[in-house]
């Protein structure tokens, strides 16, 4: 199976064709049953079992400690009394979004963070008031933090205001919200969003058509198994002092071939376009959270891209451009370097 980057979008594929493909895929996958991701004690399609993320630290203390300081490890957290995020953001201040005419205020009450939105009525007083709790935060805070509200049924909704770390820290509209007709409190977090911003959920994720319902407790941060694959068999072999079995049971990205090694990063760092059309579609027979490092990413996602020679080779977009820039570099083309070189 070729690397995803080796499969450009054919010239003949028009916008209409892409729309039809998307419609067909989603019609096939219209959720009527539970989508069950890997979880603690569960196995992937090859029978490899996932472990509790905390188990890795029992043998790899130094690595676990240093990894815990990275942005990936701090990518997702619960917002509650005593969490560092409440001390690192400015609360009680307001944000006026001129494009939509909405006013937003973040406040803390009883150790919980809330976002309040209102407009101004004809008499100049607050109207159309809505308030939601900020129950989780996406983002380490190195660059930004976006907040999520949890519904009673387990669905997560993105809040329209985010905290940005530069210039001493400030509130502004969340990515994609700085426009008159934004989604406000209506954007439901998808499994695709969760799969790259957090560790794999530890229980079944049910979606009956109105958005995925994530089980509690949610992981807090991307854990070791995102890059090393399911770890329970590795742990069991290590406890049995079977060194060779332990090595075979875990993925060491450094020992993978170049394409498979790069795809460990590309599972989340390949976005071929930021346009409204999808840049990738998960294959219909692959449930969410089922990609395993060391396997072909092309067996999990179908990626769409501009055809070679279409004049779009030098594009610069938000997420996926790093991949293009790396592959265009002289160092990459003249050596065997990868993302981790």
User: 229 or 325: which carries more pLDDT confidence?
Assistant: 229
DSSP string, 288-299: TT---TTS-GGG
Inside any domain, residue 40: no
> Is residue 314 predicted with pLDDT exceeding 50?
yes
- Greatest mean pLDDT among 236-245, 261-270, 315-324: 236-245
| Count of structural domains, the chain | 2
* Position 211 in a domain: no
Q: Is residue 112 part of a domain?
A: yes
In this structure, of 6-10, 60-64, 298-302, 306-310, the range with the lowest mean pLDDT score is 6-10
**What does the pLDDT look like over 44-97, one tens digit per residue?**
655 678 999 899 999 999 999 999 999 999 999 999 888 888 888 888 888 999
Tell whether 132 and 190 lie within a shared domain: yes
* pLDDT, the chain, mean: 85
How confident is residue 24, by pLDDT bands cut at 50, 70 and 90? very low
How far is it, in rounded angstroms, from Cα 329 to Cα 337? 11
What's the domain range around 108?
Answer: 77-197
Say if 137 falls within a structural domain. Answer: yes
Same domain, 110 and 185: yes
188 and 257 inside one domain = no
pTM of the model: 0.84
pLDDT class of 317 with cuts at 50, 70, 90: low
The answer to whether residues 26 and 82 belong to one domain is no
> Does the structure show a pLDDT above 60 at 139?
yes
Q: How would you label 12-46 residue by residue, b for 16+ Cβ within 10 Å and e otherwise?
A: eeeeeeeeeeeeebeeebebeeebbbbbbebebee
* Residue 1 included in any domain: yes
Q: Tell me the C-alpha to C-alpha distance, in Å, between residue 55 and each of 42, 52, 113, 117.
A: 15, 6, 31, 42
Listed residues 175, 197, 219: the one ending a domain: 197
Residue 240 is assigned to a structural domain of this protein: no
Q: Which residue has the higher pLDDT, 161 or 28?
A: 161
Residue 36 covered by a domain: no
């Amino acid at each position: 199976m070729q690397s995803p980057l080796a499969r450009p979008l054919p010239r003949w594929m028009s916008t209409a064709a892409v729309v039809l493909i998307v419609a067909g895929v989603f019609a096939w996958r219209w959720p009527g049953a539970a989508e069950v991701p890997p979880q603690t004690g569960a196995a992937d399609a090859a029978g490899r079992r996932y472990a509790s993320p905390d188990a890795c630290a029992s043998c790899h203390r130094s690595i676990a400690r240093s990894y815990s300081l990275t942005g990936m490890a701090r990518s997702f957290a619960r917002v509650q009394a005593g969490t560092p995020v409440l001390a690192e953001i400015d609360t009680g201040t307001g944000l006026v979004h001129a494009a939509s005419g909405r006013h937003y205020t973040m406040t803390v009450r009883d150790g919980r963070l809330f976002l309040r939105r209102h407009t101004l009525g004809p008499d100049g007083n607050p109207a159309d008031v809505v308030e939601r709790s900020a129950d989780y935060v996406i983002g380490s805070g190195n660059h930004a933090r976006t907040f999520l509200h949890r519904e009673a049924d387990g669905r997560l909704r993105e809040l329209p205001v985010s905290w940005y770390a530069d210039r001493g820290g400030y509130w502004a509209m969340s990515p994609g919200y700085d426009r008159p007709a934004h989604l406000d409190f209506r954007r439901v977090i998808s499994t695709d969003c969760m799969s790259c911003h957090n560790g794999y959920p530890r229980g079944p994720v049910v979606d009956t058509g109105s958005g995925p319902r994530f089980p509690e407790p949610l992981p807090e941060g991307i854990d070791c198994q995102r890059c090393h694959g399911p770890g329970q068999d590795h742990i069991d072999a290590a406890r049995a002092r079977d060194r060779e079995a332990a090595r075979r049971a875990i993925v060491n990205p450094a020992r993978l071939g170049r394409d498979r090694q790069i795809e460990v990063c590309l599972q989340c760092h390949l976005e071929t376009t930021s346009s409204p059309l999808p840049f990738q579609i998960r294959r219909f027979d692959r449930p969410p959270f089922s990609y395993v490092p060391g396997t072909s990413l092309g067996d999990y996602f179908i990626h769409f891209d501009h055809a070679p020679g279409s004049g779009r080779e030098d594009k610069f977009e938000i997420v996926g451009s790093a991949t293009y820039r790396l592959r265009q570099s002289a160092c990459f083309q003249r050596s065997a370097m990868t993302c981790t070189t």
